[in-house]
Structure 1
Amino acid sequence: MSDDEREEKELDLSSSEVVTKYKGAAEIVNKALQLVVKECKPKAKIVDICEKGDAFIREQTGNMYKNSKKKIERGVAFPTCLSVNNTVCHFSPLASDTSELEEGDMVKIDMGCHIDGFIAVVAHTHVVQSGPITGKQADVVAAANTAAEVALRLVRPGKKNKDVSDAIQKVAAAYDCKIVEGVLSHQLKQFVIDGNKVILSVSNPDTRVDDAEFEENEVYAVDIVASTGEGKPKLLDEKQTTIYKRAVDKNYHLKMKASRFIFSEINQRFPILPFTARFVIVLHLF
C-alpha cells in the first residue's frame, strides 16, 4: 500500500481515531443544541441565541487536543441558524438584526461542529410554548421526525440515494405533508461538508442529482425538511444572506486593497467550511 493509499484509508470510519473525532464533534454539537433550545423563549433575540450556540462550540472544541503535537483544527463547521415559521433554513442574522422569537413560533435549529475537519451536524424543530403542540404543527413535526428515522435506516451499504428520496416522500404524505423541494443531504468527508454523493429530497425538472449507492464507512448528513404547504419554497421577504463558503476551486483576482485584506482574513479563518458574516464584522472589516 502506498503512502497516499494509507493516508486515504485512515480518513474514513475504518480508523478508530476518525470515529473518535466524529463522536467528539457529535457530543459537543448535541450539547450546543440543548443550550440553544433552552434559550428559545418569547422575546429572545435570534442573533443572541445564534451567537451563544457558536460560542459554546468554539469553547468546547478549544479545550480538546490542547497538548497535541500536531495542530488539530476544530470549531464551528456550520454557524448556528434559527429559521422561524415559513423560513426554510439557514437564517443566522447579523448583530444589528432585532428579530425576536414569539410565543407559538416554530423554530428550525441547525448547526455544526468539527474536530480535525470531521463534521457533525444537527438539526431540531422546537415550538416556543410550554404545553404540547397540536394540529398542523404537530403533524409536520411528526412527519419530519418519522421521515428522518426512515432515512437513517436506509442509508446503508447497498442502498441507493433514490431509495431514501422515495421513502421520505411517502412518509410525509401519510401525515398530509410534503417534503420541501431543493433540500440536499450530502456525504461528509474531512473538511468537506457538501460531498459529491447527494440525496435529493424531491426530484424536479430544476434539480437533479446523479444516482449513487451508499458504501461502507461513508458518512452522510441527512437533512429532512417537511411542510404543511406545497413544499415549494417561495420568496416571502428579502432576508440578507449571511452564511458564505469559499469556493476553493475558484481563483479570486481582487484589485482593491480592502477586498484583498478581507479575503486574506477569510482565507486564514474560514478557508473551507461555511461561516457567518458576523465573524467578519467582529474583525471590524466592514
Structure 2
Amino acid sequence: MSDDERDPEEEEEEEEEDQDLTNSDVVTKYKAAADITNKCLVTLLPKLVPGAKLIDLCKTVDDMMNAELAAIFKGKKLEKGIAFPCCLSLNNVVGHYCPADDDTVTLKAGDVAKVDFGCHIDGYIATQAHTHVVSDSAADGATPVPPVTGRVADAVACAQTCFDAAVRLIRPGKKTDEVDKVLAKIAEVYGCQIVEGVMTHQMKRFVIDGNKVIPNKPATDQRVDSQEIEAGEVYAVDIVVSTGEGHSRMIDERQTTVYKRALDMEYKLKMKAARAVFSDINKRFPALPFTTRYLEPPEGKASLIKLGMKELLDHELLYAYPVLYDKAEKHGECHVVQVKGTILLMPSGWSDRVTKVPPEMVAEAKSDKKVEDQEILDILATSIDNPKKKKDKKKKK
C-alpha cells in the first residue's frame, strides 16, 4: 500500500500513539507544565495570609502562569496557556470559586483555603490542588507552618491518605471501580465524608476531563462503567473530603465564573454581543476552561459580556463549573479539604506524580485517628517510584 492509499484510521492511531507517554517530547511537555504549576503554588502559599484578597491572589497565579509559559519553548510554535483558572475556595466551599474583578472577599485566620489551577504546553496539561489553613505565619518554606488540629486535621489527614491510596490503586491492569471502596474505608476512620460526585479524570491532549473516570463516591444517579487502567495514561487524581454531609450543592448560580466550550453543541446565535463573546472563546479557549474575567468586552463594554454569555448558556454552548457548597451535619462544622495531583502512568509501569507541594510548606495534621486496616496499610506501603532511580541512588551511596 502506498502512502497515498494509507487507511485514515491507521493514520489517526499513529497520531494518537505519538501523543502518549511513549513519546519523550510529550513527557517533557507534561513535566514542563508541571514545573510551572509547582512554581506558582510555591509563590502563592506565602501570600495566603489574613487580609489578602482572593481576586489578587488568583490574578497573581494566573499572571505568573502566563509569564512562565511565555518564557519557554520560545522557538517553537506551540499553544501554551492556562488549563484551569486559579480558584480559591474557602471552608465549606467545595470548589470552583474563581473571583470576579469586583470580588471583595479576603482571607482570615483559620480559613481552610483550597487552591486549584493548572496550565498546559501544546495541550499537555498539569493541574494540582492543595489545601492550606490560613495563619499569621507565612508558608514560605523557612518559617515552620503551624500544625493543623481538631476536625480540620482529621479532614487534612483523611484527604492525604485517600490521595496516597488512590495513586497506588490507579495503576495499569487495575479497574476504575476499585478505588471508591478503599476511600470509603479511609474516610470512616477519620470520621469524614468523601464528597459525592467528585471524580478523577483521565487527561489527554487538550482534554482536561476525559471519558475514562474514577469516581471517589458515585452519586446515586451517576452510572460509571468500569474500565481497565492502562500504561501511558495521565490522570488528575482529585480527592475532596468533608467533615460535613459530603453532598455538594450550588447555592447561587450568579457565582459561577468558570466555563468550558461544549464542543458537541452548535447554535446560530442571534445577538451581536453573544457572537462576539463566542468568537473570543473559540479563538482563545476552544477546548479548555476559562473564567469570564479573561474575556474581551465587546465594544469595550463589560456589560455586554454578561449579556452575550446568557445566550450562550441558554443554548448550552458552554459547560459550567458551578461554585459548590457542602453543609455541616447537626451540631457540627463543615471543613472541606482537597488534594489533587497529575499522575503519569509511565509505559514501564511506574507512576510519576509531576505536580506536588514541597514537604516543608505543608502543615502537619495532628489527628488522633489513624488507619489500622491491614489491607489499606498494604496499599499505602506499595511503591510507585521508578525502580531505576532507586538503583541509581544506591550506586551513589
AA in 1 matched with 2:212: K
Residue 4 (structure 1) shift: 2.7
Give, in whole Å, the separation in 1 of the partners of 2:131 and 2:238: 12
Equivalent pair of 1:77/1:273 in contact (CA under 8 Å): yes
User: What SS is found at the alignment partner of 1:158?
Assistant: coil
Give, in whole Å, the separation in 2 of the partners of 1:86 and 1:204: 19
Q: Which residue of 2 aligns with 1:265?
A: 280
Equivalent pair of 2:195/2:240 in contact (CA under 8 Å): yes
* Alignment of 1:13 onto 2:28: no
Give, in whole Å, the separation in 1 of the partners of 2:280 and 2:252: 31
AA in 1 matched with 2:72: M
Aligned match for 1:87, one of 90, 93, 101 = 93
Question: 1:200-251 CA deviation, whole Å, 9 max, x = no partner?
Answer: 1112322221111101101110110001112112445566100000011111
Residue 3 (structure 1) shift: 3.2
Give, in whole Å, the separation in 2 of the partners of 1:248 and 1:236: 27
User: What SS is found at the alignment partner of 1:223?
Assistant: strand
- Count of aligned positions: 284
Identity %: 52
Q: Which residue of 1 aligns with 2:49?
A: 41
Alignment RMSD (CA, Å):
1.5
AA in 1 matched with 2:35: E
Higher relative contact order (CA 8 A, sep 6+): 2
Aligned match for 2:78, one of 66, 72, 81 = 72
Residue 161 (structure 1) shift: 1.3
Q: Which residue of 1 aligns with 2:225?
A: 210
Larger radius of gyration: 2
Aligned match for 2:102, one of 96, 105, 111 = 96
User: What SS is found at the alignment partner of 1:141?
Assistant: helix
Q: Which residue of 2 aligns with 1:114?
A: 120
Q: Which residue of 1 aligns with 2:375?
A: none
Give, in whole Å, the separation in 2 of the partners of 1:4 and 1:65: 26
Give, in whole Å, the separation in 1 of the partners of 2:200 and 2:82: 19
AA in 1 matched with 2:88: L
Give, in whole Å, the separation in 2 of the partners of 1:224 and 1:282: 36
TM-score, normalised relative to structure 2: 0.69
Cα separation, partners in 2 of 1:285 and 1:248, compared to 1, 3 Å: farther
Q: Which residue of 1 aligns with 2:264?
A: 249
Map 1:126-205 → 2, pairs under 5 A: 126-129=132-135, 130=137, 131-205=146-220
AA in 2 matched with 1:123: A
Residue segments in structure 1 that go unaligned for 5+ positions in a row = none
Cα separation, partners in 2 of 1:31 and 1:14, compared to 1, 3 Å: same
Give, in whole Å, the separation in 2 of the partners of 1:272 and 1:235: 24
User: What SS is found at the alignment partner of 1:126?
Assistant: strand
Q: Which residue of 2 aligns with 1:60?
A: 68
Residue segments in structure 2 that go unaligned for 5+ positions in a row = 1-5, 138-145, 303-397
Cα separation, partners in 2 of 1:150 and 1:282, compared to 1, 3 Å: farther
Give, in whole Å, the separation in 2 of the partners of 1:128 and 1:281: 34
Residue 149 (structure 1) shift: 0.6
Equivalent pair of 2:277/2:296 in contact (CA under 8 Å): no
Residue 65 (structure 1) shift: 1.3
